[in-house]
Amino acid sequence: MKKLRYAGVLTAVALALAGCGGEKVGAETPATTGGKECGTFNLTVSPWVGYEANAAVVAYVATKDLGCKVVKKNLKEEIAWQGFGTGEVDVNLENWGHEDLKKKYIEQEQVAVEAGSTGVKGVIGWYVPPWMAQTYPDITDWKNLNKYAALFKTSESSGKGQLLDGDPSYVTNDEALVKNLSLNYKVVQSGSETALIQAFRDAEKNKKPLLAYFYQPQWFFNEMNLVKINLPPYKAGCDAVPAKIACDYPPYDLDKIVSKKFADSGSPAYTLVKNFQWTNEDQNDVARMIAVDKLTPDQAAEKWVKDNESKVNAWLGK
Amino acid sequence: MTAQLEYPGVQDSDALLSIEGLWKVFGPKAQRVPRRPDLAALDRAALYHQTGCTAAVRDLSFDVAPGEVFVVMGLSGSGKSTLVRCLTRLIEPTAGSLIFEGEDLRAADEKRLRTLRRSKFSMVFQHFGLLPHRKVIDNVSYGLEIRGESKPDRRRRAQEVIDLVGLAGNEHLYPEQLSGGMQQRVGLARALANDPDVLLFDEPFSALDPLIRREMQTEVVRLHREVGKTMVFITHDLSEALKLGDRILLMRDGAAVQLGTGDELVGAPADDYVREFVRDVQRADVLTLRWICREPRPDEPLDGPELGPDVLVREATRLVLEADRPVKVVAGGQLLGVIGDEEILAVVADTN
Amino acid sequence: MAAITSDMEIEVRRPRRSVVVGVLLLVWVAAYFVLRGVNTLVLGGQETTGFHDWLTEHRDDVGQGNAFFDAIRIAVDHFVVLLQDVISQPSFDRPVPVIGWLGVVAVSAYLAWAFGNWKVAVLTAAGLGFVGLQGLWQESMDTLALTIAAVLLSLLVAIPLGIWAGLSDRAYKVATLVLDLMQTLPTFVYLAPLTLFFAIGPAAATIATLIYAAPPAVRLTAHAIRSVPPESVEAARSLGSTRGQTLTKVLLPMSRSTVVVGINQTIMAALSMVTVAALIDAPGLGQTVLKALQTLDVGVAFNAGLAIVVLAIVLDRVTTAAGDRPWRTASIRRKVLLGAGAVGVLVAIWFSRTYVWAAEFPSSPNVGSRIAVVTSDVTTWVQDVFGGFTYGVRDAVTNGLLNPLEALLTGSPWWLVTAVVVALAAVLGGWRGALPAAVCLLLLVATGVWHDSMITLASTVLATVVVVAVGLVLGVWAGRNHRVDTWIRPVLDAGQTMPPFVYLVPFLALFGTSRFTAIAAAVVFAVPVTTKIVADGIKAVPVATVEAANSVGSSTWQVISKVQLPVARRAITLAVNQGLIYVLSMVVVGGLVGAGALGYGVAAGFAQSELYGKGLAAGLAIVLLGVLLDRVTQAAARRTGQFKGRGEKR
C-alpha cells in the first residue's frame, strides 16, 4: 500500500514537472555533414592570438567546407613538437624558426614534414612606445641608445638602462647584443608576453620610458603602434656564433609543419593546410576580432571567410 | 578476603602466574644490562649516564596465586605500568621468565600469544582505551569479534557483562556520550567479556573523580567476589592498594621494595621509604590486632573478651575501650597476646 | 630521543648567539667589500654548462613507447574521459553529457548532505548554480572531472603510502624527505618530461596534478595513524588482535577525521594545479584563464578564477563537514529523509537526461560577463589611483632591502657565501643545520646556476620574512578572535585557490615588471596558509593556560608574547616551513613577472628545448634552496626551543 502511494505521489510530481518540461534532448537532430574521407586531425594551438587566428580560419574552413573534425589542443610550441612524435599533434600552423626542433623531428626522427610558408612575416626586435619616438625622434637609431640610457633606469637595472626581454619561449640574442654593441644597458627578463604588453600600456599611458623586446605580427599592434629600433642590419650568417652577434634579428618566414602521418594520409585537409597562406594584415584582422572585439575564434573566422571568399577558394583549389 | 590472608606466602606449585628475574631495559643495546652484574648494580642515574639505558623493571620475582588480587604500587615512573605490560608481552621483557599455568610465556610465538590474550588475559587501561567509533556494545564485544565468534553469541555475552558492570540501558551510546566512570565500566566490561583467567588493571581509576573512584573500587571488590578472577592491579594510590589488595608489591625505580599484605606494609615497613609511604595511612583501618598485641603483664587478669588476630583495630576499638580488662587475642585456641586501652589509643590517635 | 636531545642542550653556553651571528654578518660585509665580484659564478641567460647540455641530451632516454607507461596512460585517459562523458562533454551520441546540470547539482548536493550536513548541501547547490550563472558550466565540469580523477588516483597511491609511513618509523623519515622534494620541485620542471611519458592529454595533466596533490594526503594519513592514542592500540593488542585487525578495526577508523583533512588538502592542491596543467592541454577553467591572459583580459580571467575559488570552497566545506561528522549512525528520521532524497536525485537525473533545460545550463542570466566588466573597471580604477604610490613602495623596498641583500649574496665569492651560511647554520642550529647547509650549497654550485640561485634566494628570504610577519599578525588576531576568524577564512581560501595568473596582470600594472612584483605575488599566495596554521595553533593553546596567565594580571601583549606564541611554537615552526614552501612554489610564477633568475630559467627550460637541461638544473636549485632554508630553520627552532616535545613515557 505504502509503496503504491509513494509511486503515485512521484508520478504526480514527475508529470507536473514534465508539463513545464519543454524541449526534449535530442529533438533537434544535429546536421551531419558527411565528408567521411576527411576524418579527424589534431591541430595544436600555440599560446598567442596570431596563431589562434590561423587556427580559427583553417579549422573553420576544414569543418564547414570539408566536413573534417578538428581537435584543437592548446599547447606550448615545444610540447607541440613532441606531439608529432607521439601522434597527438598533426598540424602546426605557425612555426617560428626552431631549427633545432626541425632537425630533430623532421630530419632525425622523421615524424614531421614542412608544409610551406603561411605568408606571414615575423619580425623580432627592440621597440619603444609611440610617445618616445615622437619625443625623442633619434632614439630609433641604436647608436643613440647610450645617450638615453639614463632614461631607462629602473629598480631592476642596477644603474644602467633597462632593456626588457620577453616570454621565455623566444630565443633572444639581447645579452650578446648589449655586450657587443657596447650598450650601457642591462637585460631584464619580464618573463611573459603579458608582462611586456602591460609594460607598454603603462609606458604609453603614463609617458614612461620603455625599451623592450617585441615582435610582429602581434594583435597588440592593433592597439598601439610600437616603434622599432634600428639595430645594425641583419646579414646572412651574422648570427652564426651566438656569443658574437652584433646585428639585428633575421626576418622570420613563418611556416607550417605537419606530421608525416597526416601528410601521407591523402586527406583533403592536408591539401588545405598546405595551400593555406595569407598576409600579416589578414592575420591581424582576425586576431583583433578575437582579442579586442571579443568574438569567439569561430565567429571571427566566419566573418573573415565571408569577406575573403577568393582567398579561401584558392586554398581549397576551387 | 580474610580467608586469603591466612597464607601470605604462596607455594610455587600453586602459583597461577610466576615471575622470575624480570627485567625491562629501554635504550641502546638494552640486552647487556641484565647480563652484566656491574651494569645491573648501577642506580638509575649512573646507568643512564654510562649506557644511555633506563631500567623500567629490574630483577622482579613474584608469584600470583589463583583468585588473588595482587596489587603493584609505586609512584609514577616506578615502572609499574611497564611491568603489567610485560606480563602479557605487550612490551617485550628484556630478561627473566614468565610462567603462566606452567607454560613459558616468553617462548610463546606470536600466534600462541594472541590465543592467550584472547582467552586468558584481559586488561583495563588508565584512559580506558575505548574505540570512539564503536557503540558501547560493540566496544564490549570487540574481543569476541576478533576471535571470530558469531554475532548473536557475542551480543548475548556482551549484554551479560554489560548488565554485570551496571551499564544496562547504555548499550547503544557512544563512549563520548558517557561520563568517565561509565566509560571505565565499558573498559571493565570489555575485559570481562572474554571471560579471562587473569584481569590486569593499569591504574584504572586514577583518571576518575574521588567519589566515582570509590564507587568503582567497590565495584571491583564486588566483581571479585562474584566472578572470582585473579587480578593484577596497578595503582599509585595507597588507600586503593590497601582496600583491594590481598598482597601488595611496592616498587621504586623499577625494583621491588617490599612485598606483603597491607598490614605487613603498615605494621612492619621494610625501610624508611616504605615507612614514609605509609605514614599518612589511617592505621586503625589497616592494622589488625596481630600487630599491636603485647605480652600480658604478670598482674593482668586474663579473663577479658577474646578476639581473633585478624580483626581490624578500628573494629576492636569499642570493645577494648568498653571492657574493664585487657582483651585477649586468640588464634586457634592459643593466646597471642593482650590489648589494652593504651595500645588501641596509640593506633587510633595515630601517634606514630 | 627526546631525552637525548635535551641532554645535549645542557652544554656550556658560549657567548650569546646573537652576538656571534652579528659578528659573522659584519665579517661577511667587510669581506664583501674586499672580494666583490670575485668567483661569483655568473652564467648568462642563453649560456649553459656541460651538465645542462648532458641533461638536455638525455631528456628523451626514458619514457615514450614504454609499455608500462602506455598502460597507465590509457587507463588514466579512459578514466578521465569517462568522468567527462558523465558530467561535462557530449557523449554516447547525445549532444549533452550523461548527466545534465540539474542532475549534477542534485547528486552533489545529495552527497554533501549525506556525508556532511544540510548546510553544506545548500552551499554546494548554490556554488554549482553560481558557476553555471557565470557562464562556465562546462569548463567547471571539465575541471571537476579532472580534479576528481586526480584526487581519486592520488588517494589510491597516497593512503597506502601514508599508512605505511604511519606504521614504520623508517618509512616515515624517508617519506617526509621525498614529500618535501615533491612539493618544492616546480611543476614546470616535470610538466614537459611528463608529456614524454604519458603523451599530451588528460593522462599527463592528471599525473602532474597527482604528483603535486598526493603529498598532503600521505603526510596527514601518516600523522593520523601516528596520533591514534597508544592505549586504544594497546587495548586492541591486549585482546589479541592481529596486525590486520588492529589496522582495520582501530587505526583506520580512528584516523578518519585527520585523513579527511588530508583529502581536503589534496583537493585544494589539485585545484591549484588547474591553470598550470592547462599548459599541457588539460581541459577546463585553466584554459579560460590562460586564454584571457593572452589578451590581458583581467575580467575574464578573474571570472574563471572565481569559479575555481567557488569550487574550492564548496569542496573544502563539504570535506570538512564530512570529517567533522560524529561517529553516531543516522537517526531513523534522517534515514527516511535520505531515502526520499535519493529518489529526488534520481528524478532530477532523469530530467537532466530528458529535457534540454535541465541538461544544458541556461545561458540567459549570465553574471559572468558582469563580473568580468566590474573587475576590469575596478582594476583600472585601482591602477589609476594607486599607480604612483605603489611604484614608490616598490622602489623603496627594492633599493633599501632587496638590492643590498642581493648584492651581498651575488657579489660575494661563492666560497665566502658558503662559508658564512654554513657558519650561521652551525651557530643557529648546530650540526643538524650546518651539515645540510653545506651539502645544499655545494650542490647548488654543481647545478651551474649559482648566481641565479643567489638572486632567487634574496627574494625568497625577503618574501618569507614578510609572509611570516603578516601571517603571525593575522594568525594571532584570528586565533584570538572568533569573529575575525569567521570573516577572514573565506578570504584566505580565495587567496590560496585563486590562480596566481589571475592577479599577475593587476600586479604588473601596480608594480611594473620587477622582482618586487614577484615578491608581492608570492606573499599574497603564501600568507593564507601561514595565517591559517598560526590561527589554529593559537586556538589550540589550552584555555587553562591562557586563564592562568590572565589570572596573574598579564596584559594582552604579555599573554600573546609570553604564553600563546611560545606554547604554539610547533604550529609556528610549521607555519614558517609551509610559508617557505609556498613562496618557493611561486618562484616560477615570479619569473613570469620580472623576477628573472631561477624562475625564468625553469620557464625557459619548459619552453625552449635547448634550455631544457638548464631549466631542470634551475628547478633542482629551487628544491635545494628549499631544503637549505627548511633544514636550517628547523634546526634553529629545535635548538632554541625551551619546550621539549612530549617525551616518551616509558
Closest CB from C229, C232, C239 relative to B146 = C239
**Residue C23: predicted pLDDT:** 87
Q: For residue B250, which phi and psi values (nearest 5 degrees)?
A: -95, 125
Residue C136 has pLDDT above 50, yes or no: yes
Same domain? A127 vs A221: yes
SS3 state at A165: strand
Same domain? A135 vs A158: yes
Q: Other C-beta atoms within 10 Å of B278: how many?
A: 20
Which residues are bridge partners to A215 per DSSP?
A: A124
Residue A283 cell numbers, joined: 592575420
**Residue B22: predicted pLDDT:** 93
Q: How far apart are CA C227 and CA A195, in angstroms?
A: 48
Which residues are bridge partners to B17 per DSSP?
A: B64, B100
Q: Which residues in chain B are contacts of C240 at CB distance < 8 A? A: 113-119, 143, 146-147
| Average model confidence (pLDDT) across chain A | 83
Same domain? A236 vs A264: no
pLDDT in tens, A113-149: 888 888 888 888 999 999 999 999 988 888 888 888 8
8 Å CB contact of C395 and A173: no
Q: How far apart are CA C411 and CA C514, in angstroms?
A: 20
Same domain? A130 vs A112: no
SS3 state at A180: helix
**Which CATH number is A274's domain given?**
3.40.190.10
- Dihedral angle at the C-alpha atoms of C225, C227, C232, C235, nearest 10 degrees? 70
Domain boundary residue, one of A221, A244, A267: A244
**Residue C411: predicted pLDDT:** 86
Q: What is the pLDDT along chain B (352 residues), one digit of tens a residue?
A: 333 333 344 444 578 899 999 999 998 888 888 888 888 888 888 888 888 889 999 999 999 999 899 999 988 888 899 999 999 898 999 999 999 998 999 999 989 988 999 889 999 998 888 888 888 999 999 989 888 889 999 899 999 999 988 888 998 988 888 988 899 999 989 998 988 999 999 998 888 888 888 888 988 888 888 888 899 999 988 888 888 889 999 998 889 999 998 888 888 888 888 888 888 787 877 888 888 888 888 888 888 888 888 888 888 888 888 888 888 888 888 888 888 888 888 887 764 4
Name the DSSP letter for residue B268.
S
Confidence of residue C143 (pLDDT cuts 50, 70, 90): very high
Q: How far apart are CA B49 and CA C408, in angstroms?
A: 46
Q: Which chains touch B (3 or more CB pairs under 8 A)?
A: C
Nearest CA in chain C to A191: C592
8 Å CB contact of A199 and C512: yes
8 Å CB contact of A74 and C281: yes
pLDDT in tens, C291-349: 887 777 888 888 999 999 999 989 988 988 888 877 666 678 888 888 888 898 898 88
Which residues are bridge partners to B335 per DSSP?
A: B330
Q: Other C-beta atoms within 10 Å of A2: how many?
A: 6
Same domain? A195 vs A228: yes
Cβ partners under 8 Å of residue C223, min gap 6: C166, C258
Q: Distance, in angstroms, between C250 CA and closest chain B CA? A: 7
Q: Which residues in chain C are contacts of B132 at CB distance < 8 A? A: 254, 327
Structural domains for chain C: 16-37+50-57+372-640 (1.10.3720.10), 67-92+142-330 (1.10.3720.10)
Alpha helices in A20-173 (DSSP H): 49-66, 77-86, 99-102, 130-135
Q: Other C-beta atoms within 10 Å of C280: how many?
A: 25
- Is the link from the previous residue into C202 a cis peptide, with omega within 30 of 0? no
* Residue corresponding to grid cell 650542490: C443
**Residue A168: predicted pLDDT:** 77
Q: Which residues in chain C are contacts of A167 at CB distance < 8 A? A: 607
CATH topology of domain B4-120+196-281: Rossmann fold (3.40.50)
Would A3 be classed as within a structural domain? no
Same domain? A74 vs A104: yes
Architecture of domain B286-348: Alpha-Beta Complex (3.90)
**Residue A31: predicted pLDDT:** 43
SS3 state at C219: helix
C54 touches chain A (CB under 8 A): no
Confidence of residue A29 (pLDDT cuts 50, 70, 90): very low
pLDDT in tens, A40-55: 888 898 888 888 899 9
Domain ranges within chain B, ordered by starting residue: 4-120+196-281, 286-348
C527 touches chain A (CB under 8 A): no
pLDDT in tens, C67-96: 788 888 889 989 998 998 888 888 777 778
Would A26 be classed as within a structural domain? no
C237 touches chain B (CB under 8 A): yes
Would A19 be classed as within a structural domain? no
pLDDT in tens, C98-112: 888 888 999 999 999
Q: Which residues in chain C are contacts of B116 at CB distance < 8 A? A: 240
ipTM of the complex: 0.79
Sign of the alpha-carbon torsion through A113, A116, A120, A125: positive
Confidence of residue C2 (pLDDT cuts 50, 70, 90): very low
Domain boundary residue, one of A224, A244, A264: A244
Q: For residue C600, which phi and psi values (nearest 5 degrees)?
A: -65, -40
Strand order from edge to edge, sheet including B255-260: B121-124, B198-202, B230-235, B69-73, B247-252, B255-260
Q: Distance, in angstroms, between A281 CA and closest chain C CA? A: 18
Closest CB from C235, C256, C650 relative to B82 = C650
**Residue B82: predicted pLDDT:** 92
C119 touches chain A (CB under 8 A): no
Residue C43 cell numbers, joined: 652564467
Q: Distance, in angstroms, between C333 CA and closest chain B CA? A: 17
Same domain? A226 vs A265: no
Q: Distance, in angstroms, between B262 CA and closest chain C CA? A: 28
| Average model confidence (pLDDT) across chain C | 83
C512 touches chain A (CB under 8 A): yes
Spatial contact of A83 and A89, defined as CB atoms under 8 Å apart: yes
Cβ partners under 8 Å of residue A274, min gap 6: A115, A116, A256, A258
Number of domains present in the structure of chain A: 2
Q: Which residues in chain B are contacts of C234 at CB distance < 8 A? A: 85, 90, 123, 125, 129
Residue A309 has pLDDT above 50, yes or no: yes
Q: Which residues in chain B are contacts of C250 at CB distance < 8 A? A: 131
Q: Which residues in chain C are contacts of B85 at CB distance < 8 A? A: 234
pLDDT in tens, C444-462: 888 888 888 999 999 999 9
Residue A109 cell numbers, joined: 626522427
Residue A33 has pLDDT above 50, yes or no: no
**Which CATH number is A194's domain given?**
3.40.190.100
Same domain? A145 vs A234: yes
Same domain? A147 vs A173: yes
Q: How far apart are CA B206 and CA C620, in angstroms?
A: 55
8 Å CB contact of C238 and B117: yes
Same domain? A100 vs A168: no
pLDDT in tens, C384-442: 888 778 888 888 888 889 888 988 888 888 899 899 999 988 888 888 888 989 999 99
Longest CA span, chain B: 75
Confidence of residue C14 (pLDDT cuts 50, 70, 90): low
**Residue C65: predicted pLDDT:** 59
Range of the domain at A53: 40-119+254-316
pLDDT in tens, A222-252: 888 899 999 999 888 888 887 888 899 888 8
pLDDT in tens, C184-233: 777 777 777 777 777 777 888 898 898 888 988 998 899 889 888 888 89
C227 touches chain B (CB under 8 A): no
Confidence of residue C365 (pLDDT cuts 50, 70, 90): confident
